[in-house]
Amino acid sequence: MKPKVLAVVGPTAVGKSALALSLAQQFNGEIISGDSMQIYRHLDVGTAKVSPAEQALIPHHLIDILTVQEQYGVQQFVKDCQTLITEIHQRGKLPIIAGGTGYYLKALLQGLQLGGHNSSSAAVRSQLEAELAQVGPEVLWQQLRSLDASAAAKIDAHNSRRVMRALEIYRVTGKLPSDQQNQPHPYDAYLIGLNCERSLLYQRINQRVELMMQMGLLTENEWLRKQGPNLPALKGIGYREFTPYFAGKQDLATTVNEIKKDSRHYAKRQLTWFRNQMDVHWYNLVEHEDQITEIEQAVQKWRRSNEL
């Protein structure tokens, strides 16, 4: 019997955290944050962490586990989640993943083969980075296409990170990336997606950024830049846009507008990913609050299909 895992996904500012908390309370669950930035301590505003009061209501995991100097990637996320899911089930509770990066969730829930941290994988990754610098992303994509046309068709030729990841899998394991599609999934996962009408979504995103500024996003960025250069968190939305501001090349109003723009673009990419890559059951709680009843009934039916 596969362990059950519930996930709440979708773009920012549509109520994922609140829904995950509500479902955890109703179905005896524990929440695992799927957000790759909420792992960092002290970055509370820009990552939209749930409040300490909310965390006290239901156990939350993968929040505030690292300093901003530490690295964290998909391999570690999958490893941590696998351990947590086992432990949560052993406690007789339901694991609920709230939010998260699309590829991270796919790697976890579909059991994708990842290139680990061993020396051979590191060597292959270094070689691919050297090739990328020498020939560019399109040539690497052509290499992938000659090996695995099916996998290449699903990856943008200019997305060098995903192209290199696919080639790394092949060079380390000898397995075609597309072969993973035929692997049995390790979990009985049910994905609930939240969304709303596009113009309303963008309005909510803009309002959230304004609220973050009121809550101290500028101060948080000032603190972050005192912790050292080239920090992983400085690449995140809500932080990277401040780089030209602190360099004296951009005013604050422009910086805020850049955060809004990047957040809207990211939301669009999130929706495209989940619609094309994973089996998601979509709802709109922003405009139709009564759909919460449909969600609860769907989750109940799924849980009863094989009781925990």
Does 11 belong to an annotated binding site?
yes
Which CA distances in Å does 19 have to 88, 89, 110, 253?
Answer: 19, 20, 23, 32
- What's the token pair of residue 281? 């059951």
Does 111 belong to an annotated binding site?
no
- What's the token pair of residue 92? 């007789």
Does 16 belong to an annotated binding site?
yes
Which CA distances in Å does 179 have to 15, 41, 148, 232?
Answer: 35, 38, 9, 31
Does 249 belong to an annotated binding site?
no
Does 36 belong to an annotated binding site?
no
Which CA distances in Å does 226 have to 29, 231, 246?
Answer: 38, 10, 12
Whole-angstrom distance, CA of residue 239 vs CA of residue 246: 11
184: exposed, middle or buried (C-beta count within 10 Å: 0-12, 13-18, 19+)? Answer: exposed
Residue written as token pair 């997606």: 193
Helix axes 102-109, 74-90, angle to 10 degrees: 50
Q: Which amino acid is at 29?
A: G
Does 13 belong to an annotated binding site?
yes
By residue count, the chain amounts to 308
List binding-site positions for ATP: 10-17
List binding-site positions for substrate: 12-17
List binding-site positions: 10-17
